[in-house]
Amino acid sequence: MQKTATLVTRINRFTTVLGGLAIALMMLHITADVAGRYLFNTSLPGTITIVSNYYMVVAVFLPLALAEEEDAHISVEVFTAGLGETGQRIIAIITLFVSLAVCMLFTGKTWEEAIRQMESGAAVLQGNSTVTIWPSNFLLPIGFGLMVIVLIIKLIGYLSRSARSPFLPDFTRLDPVENFND
């Protein structure tokens, strides 16, 4: 399990770096577009389409799994923080099952849509330019698929009650008084 978790972590870190690079490229692309518009009275063709269909998709969906792995998603522990380790563990298992079901559904549906978009050769006409957008549709099932893998690893850890299973939180850090003061 540890080798699998290490491989998944490496993949997740790589996809997160890709997300960061997409943000940097998006910034440069938009800057070049604005500079071209004001300095040369012409903008880069397809900027809005490329930003919204490529850079944003990479930046949002590829890092999802690492955020889940590191428990970096937004959570509110008002009611669960006082439950103790057993109560928190039960809530975590239920949440993981629901998250897993939803992410598996999203993975399947986004894969089906990506195939449909590829077969139709989806593209967007922006100004005088046509920008092919179907390849970016495959990034969604990749991001959700990686999240499914992380959720499965976490769920196995919770169900096996492994003390040092990868990706599992330390419930002792969930003291509501201590976290309130942070």
- What pTM value is reported for the model? 0.83
CA 44/CA 58 separation, integer angstroms: 20
Q: What is the pLDDT of residue 166?
A: 63
Q: What is the pLDDT of residue 107?
A: 98
CA 16/CA 11 separation, integer angstroms: 9
CA 30/CA 12 separation, integer angstroms: 27
Q: What is the pLDDT of residue 167?
A: 64
Q: Is the pLDDT of residue 177 over 70?
A: no
Q: What is the pLDDT of residue 182?
A: 43
Q: pLDDT class for 78, splitting at 50, 70, 90?
A: confident
Q: Is the pLDDT of residue 74 over 70?
A: yes
Task: Take residue 143 and report the two structure tokens written for it.
Answer: 């991001």
CA 150/CA 15 separation, integer angstroms: 14
What digits encode the pLDDT tens for the residues 16-41?
999 999 999 999 999 999 999 999 99
Count the alpha carbons within 13 Å of 134 in the hemisphere toward its beta carbon: 12
